[in-house]
């Protein structure tokens, strides 16, 4: 395996050939669940499995503590080695590898599933409409967001869809955000489902923010495009808040804390500012993202709202954290 090109570690080649399920199974027992694998999280103590491995994309995420990353990050954390040492362990064959035949089969299966998922997301995006006069505009106004981002739209769409039966939930009002990949190609949407009057997120949903398509590695791009400096924010409301305050700065919004470390940047991006949330999950996501971006050779800094505020939008609205 040629893991080094011109003195630079070819991480994509390493991650393409390593068996992430086998790598993680050295530290925790995994059980197959459809196309995924689940088990007890090796990052924290738990009794109910909340740790999920995604073989098709080569990633993992714990819904309990927020730990996430790829095989290299996992080896660094669990084997307590440096980035270079983790890459050498994979390159030298010290860790489980996936056969070329299995890799090609997995990629073909994933490609078909990926294309179908993106088509589903694109159908909703194409049916969506401008924010002006919509419940999504009402929602953004309630969050004191006055400049309406071009990549935000409004749609009536279902919150769930069963691919096996073809059944889906009823249409509900939602703020819909366009997610694009490193080359700015459409790969998915993030939906923020709203109350009937649009003034709040849907109160009857445990998680009113749902992604569709293949948003991993992508982002919701706000503000100008291009340049060598990008600000990364965790959610649409905070992203729109920061973009409105800094209209000359490209702001990229992740589809949740678990997606933030996975964002891929164009080659001309050399500096990243992480605008983190002032809560445990937000701080953890910012720390993981910081290390992920640094490992790629980027110049990174992390900034946060004033200590009394939970996130950037709360700070703008003057909503302080409860004691």
User: Is residue 72 helix, strand or coil?
Assistant: helix
pLDDT at 7: 46
Domains of the chain by start residue, with CATH: 4-98 (3.90.580.10), 216-323 (3.40.1360.10)
- CB of 222 within 8 A of CB of 240? yes
pLDDT at 176: 98
Backbone φ and ψ of 239, nearest 5°: -60, -45
pLDDT at 139: 98
pLDDT at 323: 65
pLDDT at 180: 97
pLDDT at 159: 93
Q: How many other β-carbons are positioned within 10 Å of the β-carbon of residue 87?
A: 23
pLDDT at 268: 96
Q: Is the pTM of this model over 0.95?
A: no
pLDDT at 106: 67
Tokens of 179: 């997610």
Per-residue pLDDT of the chain (323 residues), as tens digits, is: 444 444 456 777 888 889 999 999 999 999 998 778 999 999 998 888 989 898 877 888 887 777 878 899 999 999 999 888 888 888 888 888 887 777 777 667 667 777 888 999 999 999 999 999 999 999 999 999 999 999 999 999 999 887 778 888 999 999 999 999 999 999 999 999 999 999 999 999 988 999 998 888 899 999 999 999 999 999 999 999 999 999 999 999 999 887 888 899 999 999 999 999 998 888 988 988 898 899 889 999 999 999 999 999 999 999 998 86
The secondary structure of residue 311, as a DSSP letter, is S
Q: At what angle do helices 71-79 and 83-91 cross, to 10 degrees?
A: 110
pLDDT at 64: 77
The neighbouring-strand residues paired with 37 are: 32, 53
Q: How many other β-carbons are positioned within 10 Å of the β-carbon of residue 102?
A: 12
């Amino acid at each position: 395996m040629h893991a080094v090109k011109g003195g630079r570690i070819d991480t994509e080649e390493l991650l393409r050939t390593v068996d992430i399920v086998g790598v993680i199974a050295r530290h925790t027992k995994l059980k197959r669940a459809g196309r995924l694998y689940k088990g007890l999280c090796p990052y924290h103590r738990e009794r109910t499995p909340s740790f999920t491995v995604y073989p098709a994309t080569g990633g993992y995420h714990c819904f309990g503590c927020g730990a996430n990353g790829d095989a290299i990050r996992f080896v660094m954390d669990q084997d307590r080695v440096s980035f270079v040492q983790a890459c050498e362990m994979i390159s030298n064959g010290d860790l489980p590898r996936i056969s070329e035949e299995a890799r090609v089969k997995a990629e073909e299966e994933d490609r078909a599933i990926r294309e179908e998922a993106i088509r589903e997301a694109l159908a909703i995006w194409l049916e969506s409409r401008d924010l002006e006069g919509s419940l999504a505009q009402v929602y953004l106004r309630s969050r004191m967001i006055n400049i309406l981002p071009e990549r935000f739209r409004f749609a009536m769409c279902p919150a769930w869809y069963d691919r096996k039966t073809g059944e889906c939930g009823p249409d509900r009002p939602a703020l819909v955000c366009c997610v694009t990949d490193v080359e700015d190609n459409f790969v998915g949407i993030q939906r923020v489902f709203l109350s009937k009057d649009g003034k709040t997120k849907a109160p009857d949903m445990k998680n009113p923010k749902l992604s569709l398509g293949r948003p991993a590695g992508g982002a919701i791009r706000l503000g100008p495009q291009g340049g060598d400096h990008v600000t990364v924010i965790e959610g649409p409301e905070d992203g729109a808040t920061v973009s409105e305050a800094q209209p000359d700065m490209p702001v990229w919004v992740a589809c949740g804390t678990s997606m933030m470390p996975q964002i891929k940047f164009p080659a001309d991006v050399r500096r990243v500012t992480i605008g983190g949330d002032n809560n445990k999950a937000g701080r953890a996501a910012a720390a993981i993202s910081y290390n992920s971006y640094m490992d790629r050779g980027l110049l990174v800094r992390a900034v946060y709202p004033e200590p009394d505020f939970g996130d950037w939008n709360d700070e703008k609205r003057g909503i302080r954290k409860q004691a």
